Structure 1
Amino acid sequence: MADHSFPPLQNDLILRTAWGQTVERPPIWVMRQAGRYLPEYHEAKGGRDFFECCRDPEVASTLTLQPIERYAGFVDAAIIFSDILVIPQAMGMTVEMVDKKGPHFPDPLRTPQDKQYIELMQRKVDVAKELDYVYKAITLTRKKLNGRVPLFGFTGAPWTLLCYMVEGGGTKLFKEIKTWIYKYPEETKALLQKITELCVEYLALQVKAGAQIVQVFDSWAGELSPASFKKFSEPYLAYIAKHLPIRLEELGLEQVPMVVFPKGAWFALDACCDMGYQVVGLDWTHDPAESVKTVGDRPVVLQGNADPGVLYGTHESITEVVSEMVKGFGWADRKKGWIANLGHGITPFVKPDDLKFYFEEIHRLTK
């Protein structure tokens, strides 16, 4: 599937950090760094549909590289341009990206008695075949990066993917998925397990294609109570952390650092530190210093966690937030254990120069 004759890596800062090593400065990247806030994104995307861009390796590769080229010397990782909802698509569900609305499933799951649920559970999904375009984009991007920075692969977390599959898109009420977990808990768990196993294989094949670090996005983790998180998210996140290394070994591949990002689930930080991930991503509701205390002496690196909204503010506000992060994560004393990032993806309408200032301040304040 992949040609592994990639150029040697020139900047391995994020990989050394993720493996827990002491480093010269904190590595930096931001979630959704390839996207709508960049004018060059819209030029390259042209009139294509969002998922068309994901399915075209050349376009996906071009979009992935845009922030690396614009912020050369400031960004320490690329993340492949794709979407978490390619897994439901591979499972046979239709997903559309509606302009100014977001992802939409015309035919979401409704009850376990429906024909669609039964077929979904019976269908054998070949993620190697169905998501081949992602692997091609990763391999092409690794070559184009020419060793400048490592490349992230990623997947949505099982719970978050199931939310979309049942709700049919974004939601504020989570009525349909809450109906599922409280009315059909066993069927929910069966489908979560199926999604989880697909996520493991999908990530393993991304590594085979050239991904050097992977992240699991649990974007809707905060919609669960602590008790429900333990039932419907934690076991499946832990399964990925345990079985991905096993699958990589079976494929004869080197191990890569694994990152988990349970957005909104502040109560789950302690549990996430014991799942087997090398890195735990924090959203902006976490206090960095308290998070460092929670980690304690466990070999877990933290990633985050500025409020993305600060990028709409003044440069003085950005400096203040970066200063609080640097101090909170104990950078001056530790020189390890922190990957600088936002607490979620960069939002539209951010001015690219304000993001650059954010990067510059991290560099300046961590010298």
Structure 2
Amino acid sequence: MTTPTAQLSAAGVSIWLDDLSRTRIASGNLAQLIEDRNVVGVTTNPTIFANAITDPDDTSYDAQVAELASRGVTAEEAIFEATTQDVRDALDVFRPVWERTGHVDGRVSIEVSPDLAHDTDGTVAQAKQLWEKVGRENLLVKIPATKAGLPAIEQAIAAGISVNVTLIFSIERYAEVIDAYLSGLEKAKDAGIDISAIHSVASFFVSRVDTETDKRLDAIGTDAAAALRGKAGLANARLAYELYEQTFAGDRAAALLAAGGNTQRPLWASTGVKDPSLPDTLYVTELVAKDVVNTMPEKTLEATFDHGVVVGDTITTGYEDARSVFTGLAEAGVDFADVTQVLEDEGVAKFIDSWHDLLAQVAKGLEAQA
């Protein structure tokens, strides 16, 4: 009997773990998850690295911090050294997956500094720096889908850098992200770059959409509003996949695909269920279709492995229902455009806060070693 994670993989979903630490790599746990849980990639962000580096029970960074302190590096330089080493080591663990999947999976993401979320030139410069420092073809550089991030995404792709676009909440912004990707591919192709080596995913956040929308539905307080709780996140993601299907079947994308380019796969992020009244595998089993990535916290991954029910495609048959959810939200008085803008603003702010917490903790560690 195959496991639910194996069934999920067979249905076309790439399972990525939303976590990374040096201990996870060194202990063999990451390799075990590849073997036992069908994990084929990893995503990281400042919060994940902050949790790993500042864990009092994790001594795996102590020697490197001491060595960096002896060189008098800044906290930001120390983080750059530590995180790029972790990502490089994880990419080496995933290299057989990368080769086996024709370079589609076996990917690990590393994020540009959240302080650059509204700085196009700074984002491009750091994307190039990370790409060169890590030096692995299966890397994805994470760039947020802010207004300043969109031209940075295009420029990074045009330079031959594979990109994980993060913090996407609205269909409208997703359309702009796809356009930036296609524009970048066109420029790369014109520059003579091998576009078959350029890969990208577009990280569409799910559970946070329900958290913010449900809060507004509860405030409205009607029966009609209550009936819509827990539905916006799935509806939004399903319509994002519809846009993906339509756009990459179009003439513009077809010309690039014929020249060796790759589609920009949708990635479901924020898939840990935050509402205890909802099934803990909701954002996994209800978002199944071919060529999608689902990046899961370990708790969600284990729940899926233990009791996830995978019945095949649960996206493409739900487009009309998804549209009816948005009709209902509008009739109930939910301004969904405001929901997604609030989520983007909060998402950037949370990453910046985590980044500054990490900087402070590492600075403290360097000072203690000085």
Using structure 1 for the length normalisation, give the TM-score: 0.46
